[in-house]
Structure 1
Amino acid sequence: MRIAIIIGATRRESTSAKLSAYIADIMRKEGHEATLFDLREKPLPLYNDDDEEIHPNTAELMDTVLHADAVVLSTPEYHGSLTGVLKNALDYLGKDQFNDKAVLPVSSAGGAVGVSSLTQMQTIVRNMHGVNSPEWISIGGAQRQFQADGTPESQDVRNRVERTVLYFLKFAAKQRA
């Protein structure tokens, strides 16, 4: 399967970006194609429905998600919500890109967990006719530590992320069938 992973973080050394790269590695080890679309590296203009021209980064995002079999949305949680850059990116997308595709929400929070951002992403996905995974990934506090090789320091976090990603891959394959 082809999986698009959209990283909605703008901070250098972002925990969300590290977690997304770790998720992509697990997916690749399972034989899947995982494409990271990092909104820090490929910023989008502020969404304006009146704009007639499509920015090259926006066109690339739309094409990446359109041709993906499943999608991962990854965000830090700021003030109980997903980031503005991720919401802006999602405003450019819609049913054409998400219809009947499995979507895994992922959050990294400074506090214990990022449940608010996860539920908000699920609401947005549902409105774009995507299919929310029953499982999600959230890390917070001390769980946000990563080793130099990009793996989470905590064995518990590694196990939980791997278990959820493997579940999501099965869920996405069933959704495609």
Structure 2
Amino acid sequence: MTKNSAGDLHNVVHDHLHIPTADKLAATASHKPRILLLYGSLRARSYSRFLAMEAALLLEHFGAETKIFDPHGLPLPDDTPDTHPKVQELRTLVAWSEGQVWCSPERHGAMSGVMKSQIDWIPLSTGAIRPTQGKTLAVMQVSGGSQSFNAVNQMRVLGRWMRMITIPNQSSVAKAFNEFDEDGRMKRSPYYDRVVDVMEELVKFTLLTRDRSTYLVDRYSERKESAQELSLRVNLPSAVEDDSAT
């Protein structure tokens, strides 16, 4: 078979076929990395909240700016218009963030409903813009029993679905009731060391990608479409969105 030349790519629109170049990957931002943390429990003594707070302290030590969303009062998805103040608060924080931490308890072998509701309120698209696309993500979970990875695995799937850059490392804290003191601070342990690792890695990946995320997720197929066409395609009716979004 004869090797094809660029001119043999007869199925592509060459005006929209860009060659990746290193000069488009330069870093320019000087502000602190902006990290949003979400946790998945409404309990007064919530171990996922404690873990998120511990993560925020580490992120700030590593030079990041953090904000933690309080899910109290957030309605169920589709139970109220998205103009609800808590929904708008969440979406504003998502837009502000350059990276995120999702921390859920594991319930019945899955992430909690509180965690999933927060993610479900984050739109896949706003007009032709995808609010989470290109942002970094770290996933963590707490368990009441032995160590498990069901919740973090689910959140990884959701992170991919939301077009986020999910970092390789993750944290799963087993028997979480043994890992925090009366003040909600995490005790010294291998679990704590892993949380340090994950937050350090998240800051590194955020610094590496935040100025480049627009370029990294710039796609040939979407360049072919106008902003209006893209908006019509990605803003599908809610009844079919789950089956059609990619």
The TM-score with structure 2 as length reference comes to 0.66
Q: Provide runs of 4+ in structure 1 moved above 4 Å.
A: none
- Structure 1 match to 2:73: 43
Whether 1:22 and 2:54 are equivalent positions in the alignment is yes
Larger gyration radius, structure 1 or structure 2: 2
Q: Give, as a single letter, the amino acid of the residue that structure 2 aligns with 1:58.
A: V
* CA–CA distance in structure 2, aligned partners of residues 142 and 52 of structure 1: 36
One-letter code of the match for 1:12? A
Quote the Cα distance in structure 1 between the aligned partners of 2:75 and 2:43: 18
For the aligned residue pairs, the C-alpha RMSD in angstroms reads 1.8
Q: Is the 8 A contact 1:9 1:38 kept in 2?
A: no
Say whether residues 1:133 and 2:163 are aligned partners.
no
Query: What's the offset of the Cα at 1:158?
Result: 2.3
Structure 1 vs Structure 2: percent identity of aligned residues? 28
Q: Between Structure 1 and Structure 2, which shows a larger proportion of strand residues?
A: 1
Is there any run of 5+ residues in structure 1 with no aligned partner, and where?
Answer: none
Deviation at 1:10, TM superposition (A): 1.3
Question: Residue 101 of structure 1 is aligned with which of 135, 151, 155?
Answer: 135
Q: What SS does structure 2 have at the residue aligned with 1:77?
A: strand
Q: Distance in 2 between matches of 1:81 and 1:53?
A: 26
Residue pairs, 1:65-80, within 5 angstroms: 65-80=94-109
3-state SS, counterpart of residue 47 of structure 1: coil
Instruction: Please report the TM-score for the alignment, with normalisation by the length of structure 1.
Output: 0.90
Gaps of 5+ in 2: 1-32, 125-129, 212-246
Question: What are the equivalent positions in structure 2 for 1:90-169 lying under 5 Å apart?
Answer: 90-95=119-124, 96-141=130-175, 144-148=178-182, 150-169=184-203
**Which 10-residue stretch deviates more, 110-119 or 65-74?**
110-119
Q: Could you report, residue by residue, the CA deviation over 1:5-59 in whole angstroms, capped at 9, with x for unpaired residues?
A: 01111111111111110000011112211101121xx32111118x545210110
- Report Cα offsets for 1:118-166 as digits up to 9, x if no partner: 1111111111111111111110116742134543223322222112210
Alpha-carbon distance in 2 for matches of 1:159, 1:165? 10
Partner of 2:204: 170
Matching residue of 2:117 = 88
CA contact (8 A) 1:9 1:76 kept: yes
| Superposition deviation, residue 78 in structure 1 | 0.2
> What letter is aligned with 1:5?
L
